Amino acid sequence: MFSAGNERKNRGDSNFSAFANSRYVIAVAAATNAGKYAPYLSPGANILVNAPCDPVPTTDRTDKEGYNPWGYNEFEHQPVEGEYRDQNYTRYFKGTSAAAPVVSGVVALMLQANPALTWRDVQQILIKTAYKNPDGEWETNAAGYAHSYDYGFGRVDATAAVEAALSWKIVSEEREKPVIGKDYTKRQIPEGGEGLPIPLSIKENITVEFVEIFLDVRHELACDLEVMLISPYGTKSRLAHGNGCLYNNVSEDVKGSKNAKGYGFKNWRFGSVRYLGEQSTKGQNPWKLIIKDKNNDNIQGIFKSAELRIYGTTFPPGLPFTGVYGLKNASLYWDPQTIPTSDGGYVTVVGMYGSGKLLMMKLDSAGGVEWAKTLTGNANASPSLASVGTYCATDAALAAFSQAGFADAAARRTVASGDDSVCST
């Protein structure tokens, strides 16, 4: 657990913290009791959830070591208005320093309810039970998850998280090694304009949980650089905003032992949670890294290398590869596709197996499995099924679905009708 940071006024970003941007860490944003982000909050693509930062009553460090150093000792100091008389408690614990411990407390309750939860289970429960803050800019990815640079996936909900933990099915094992795409071709970064696009090809398909970029760029003013990562589905992560900094370099972390002052980003690791549930590939579309030098100050930037690391599972999280869905003898013939549907969910087409059978799953907007069904079709037609989820969404698409080799398609109803029998055998 780690606070997202307090560098907004200095134009900082949570991704400039080597702790907060780690995939093993839950980065927590601070928001008021009304749900508005704190004015000092460092935004970031790595933020998971947000929690209250207004004064929180809590136990304090003993005696004079904590937030309530004087208590009600009128001989030494006038008491703070409304403060507890006992120095071991305080009403005024606040800021990101308060927000992160609130989530720590929620996680403790979750683990008490279900000690079998792994760190990945904890993160996914927090994500799926969080609720949207009332304002902010939210972007929904291809898997249906909405994320904000200021709020993460939403406000932590202790009750919902503990209830979910009680009946939670442990997520599928993470792939042992990340899927990697890299570019080591040295080139200049143009000032202004559209920036330097860097395609990063991924050959293996997995369901994404977390994405890292290790970036090596030489530039005297790293804060002039905007760094944007775009998935094959068009989902964006702003990793650095390029609006300058009000101090010498990006942060103490960035200009520390591995990042000499004035260098830029020296093999700096950025992290993003914004691709959760998406597939790592989509046809031939690559991931794209775009680096823009937004300050025309005649300071030349040099791109040296970028390495994309994608972590996740070889099957949708929470769904066993064998067992209830009859996939024991499954063989994937083509890349899975995830397509949003008109009712707020999405259909994931996993692949052909057996004698040309197709597995389809209807997932709700939170990524939960509503149903998984099989269709009998023509495996040779699989290249034309890139939008098979759409074929189950509209009457017009059903005809195209039938032409793809599914003779019983005409009898199917649309997802929009709310009939869960759609796409069933």
User: Would you state the pLDDT for residue 245?
Assistant: 61
Instruction: Write the single-letter amino acid at 84.
Output: Y
Q: Name the DSSP letter for residue 79.
A: P
Cα–Cα dist 42/61, whole Å = 27
For the chain, the straight-line distance linking the first and the last C-alpha, in angstroms and rounded, comes to 45
Tell me phi and psi for residue 312, to 5 degrees: 170, -155
Beta bridge partners of 151: none
Q: For residue 15, what are the contacts with CB-CB under 8 A and spacing of at least 6?
A: 21, 44, 45, 46, 239, 240, 270, 271
- Sign of the Cα torsion 65, 66, 67, 71 reads negative
- Under 8 Å between Cβ of 149 and 135: no
The domain that contains 153 carries what CATH number?
3.40.50.200
With a cut of 50, which residues of the chain have pLDDT below it? 247-261, 316-425
Cα–Cα dist 265/81, whole Å = 47
Do 191 and 289 lie in one domain? The reply is: yes
Residue 64 lies in a domain: no
pLDDT one-digit tens code per residue, 372-385: 444 444 333 332 33
User: Would you state the pLDDT for residue 76?
Assistant: 56
Residue 76 lies in a domain: no
Q: Name the DSSP letter for residue 172.
A: P
Do 205 and 297 lie in one domain? The reply is: yes
Residue 174 lies in a domain: no
Q: For residue 206, what are the contacts with CB-CB under 8 A and spacing of at least 6?
A: 175, 179, 279, 280, 310, 312, 313, 314
- Under 8 Å between Cβ of 31 and 62: no
| Cβ atoms within 10 Å of 332's Cβ, excluding its own | 15
Closest C-alpha among 223, 231, 217 to residue 189: 217
The domain that contains 224 carries what CATH number?
2.60.120.260
Do 412 and 366 lie in one domain? The reply is: yes
| Cβ atoms within 10 Å of 59's Cβ, excluding its own | 11
Closest C-alpha among 29, 33, 42, 1 to residue 251: 42
Q: Which two tokens stand for residue 342?
A: 């008109």
Residue 406 lies in a domain: yes
| Residue at which a domain ends, from 145, 166, 187 | 166
| Residue at which a domain ends, from 248, 280, 313 | 313
User: Would you state the pLDDT for residue 350?
Assistant: 42
| Cβ atoms within 10 Å of 366's Cβ, excluding its own | 17
Do 309 and 196 lie in one domain? The reply is: yes
What does the CA dihedral 325, 331, 334, 337 come to, rounded to 10 degrees? 10
User: Would you state the pLDDT for residue 94?
Assistant: 80
User: Would you state the pLDDT for residue 61?
Assistant: 80
Cα–Cα dist 22/369, whole Å = 28
| Residue at which a domain ends, from 119, 140, 166 | 166
Beta bridge partners of 270: 213
Do 156 and 195 lie in one domain? The reply is: no
Q: Which two tokens stand for residue 159?
A: 């009750």
Do 45 and 114 lie in one domain? The reply is: yes
Cα–Cα dist 321/396, whole Å = 33
211-248 residues labelled b (16+ CB within 10 A) or e (exposed) = bbbebbbbbebbbbbbbbbbbbbebbbbbbbbeebeee
Cα–Cα dist 222/285, whole Å = 29
284 is in which domain, residue-wise?
Answer: 179-313
Closest C-alpha among 197, 364, 191 to residue 291: 197
Q: For residue 80, what are the contacts with CB-CB under 8 A and spacing of at least 6?
A: 68, 70, 92
User: Would you state the pLDDT for residue 238?
Assistant: 96
User: Would you state the pLDDT for residue 364?
Assistant: 45
Cα–Cα dist 211/43, whole Å = 17
Residue 322 lies in a domain: no
